[in-house]
């Protein structure tokens, strides 16, 4: 498995397996991680709590709920620009965030810019002629 953190769902699943009687090595095999990962996870469960710890670094300017709101707003109106989303967020939360932050949050949600296809505009007669040509050549193969 990668070096990224185990999601909370898998962490709790591993604790459940160990409490049911599965060995730590067995839980590690099922999760495809090393035994030391499960050992540390079990120790953390016994002595503390499995919730995420505070980490060093700059805190995020948006909450997960605000990130979901930005993605939802972008999905609802696909033609919305990033500056418009910044304004929508400001109206909703009364906090200013940068356009770069909005772009990052949208990229994390799997939303990217859609560039329009550039094509030559055709008039009605040209469209009809193209359609007739396509109907005549439907059965053609590459040979």
Per residue in 72-131, pLDDT (tens digit) is 999 999 888 999 999 999 999 999 999 999 999 999 999 988 777 788 889 999 999 999
pLDDT digit string, tens, across residues 74-90: 999 988 899 999 999 99
pTM of the model: 0.47
* Alpha-carbon distances, residue 37 vs 16, 17, 29, 32, 55 (angstroms): 15, 15, 11, 10, 18
């Amino acid at each position: 498995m990668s070096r990224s953190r185990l999601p909370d769902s898998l962490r709790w699943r591993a604790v459940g397996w160990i409490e049911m009687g599965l060995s730590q090595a067995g839980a590690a095999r099922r999760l495809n991680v090393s035994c030391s990962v499960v050992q540390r996870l079990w120790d953390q469960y016994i002595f503390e709590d499995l919730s995420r710890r505070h980490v060093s670094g700059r805190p995020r300017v948006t909450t997960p709920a605000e990130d979901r709101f930005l993605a939802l707003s972008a999905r609802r109106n696909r033609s919305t620009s990033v500056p418009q989303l910044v304004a929508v967020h400001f109206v909703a939360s009364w906090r200013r965030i940068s356009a770069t932050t909005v772009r990052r949050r949208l990229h994390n949600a799997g939303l990217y810019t859609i560039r329009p296809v550039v094509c030559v505009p055709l008039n009605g007669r040209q469209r009809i002629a193209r359609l007739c040509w396509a109907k005549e050549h439907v059965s053609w193969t590459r040979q």
